[in-house]
């Protein structure tokens, strides 16, 4: 079962998880990261690296979080691959305590710059 980045990542985009991923399966959007489910080997090393607990195994997703698996699959096909930690977004601390459902309207479909 692959891991999934949930909406808690929106407006934070911590990238500590990227650095530990052995298969480089993270992709960068304008304001969050996603995991390519076909590339994820389910090793789980990314999950504890996320300081806001935005990464979950797909079998641990609640009913309200299931759509994030589809978001990860869809956008990992078009957003640029990211292989190095870049640090969080400037306003990450402000948004870190918000839940995924609160952040959902802030989601951007735009790709990141992949640098």
Q: Point out which residues pair with 28 in neighbouring strands.
A: 33
Place of tokens 């918000």: 98
What is the structure's pLDDT at 94? 94
pTM across the whole model: 0.95
Going along the chain from its start, the domains and CATH numbers come out as 3-86 (3.30.70.20)
Looking at the predicted structure, is the pLDDT value of residue 113 above 90?
A: no
Residue 20 phi/psi, 5° resolution? -95, -10
Q: Point out which residues pair with 26 in neighbouring strands.
A: 35
Instruction: Output the 3-class SS for 25-93.
Output: CEEEECCCEEECCCCCCCCCCCHHHCCCCCEEEHHHCCCCCCHHHHHHHHHHCCCCECCCCCCCCCCHH
Residue 93 makes CB contacts below 8 A (sequence gap 6+) with none
pLDDT (tens digit, 9 = 90+) per residue, 39-52? 999 999 999 999 99
């Amino acid at each position: 079962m692959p891991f999934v980045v949930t909406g808690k990542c929106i407006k934070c985009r911590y990238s500590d998880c990227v650095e530990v991923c052995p298969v480089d399966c993270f992709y960068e959007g304008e304001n969050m990261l996603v995991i390519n489910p076909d590339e994820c080997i389910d090793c789980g090393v990314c999950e504890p690296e996320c300081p806001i607990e935005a990464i979950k195994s797909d079998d641990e997703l609640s009913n309200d979080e299931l759509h994030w698996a589809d978001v990860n699959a869809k956008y990992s096909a078009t957003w640029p691959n990211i292989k190095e930690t870049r640090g969080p977004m400037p306003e990450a601390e402000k948004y870190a305590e918000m839940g995924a459902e609160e952040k959902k309207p802030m989601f951007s479909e735009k790709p990141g710059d992949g640098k």
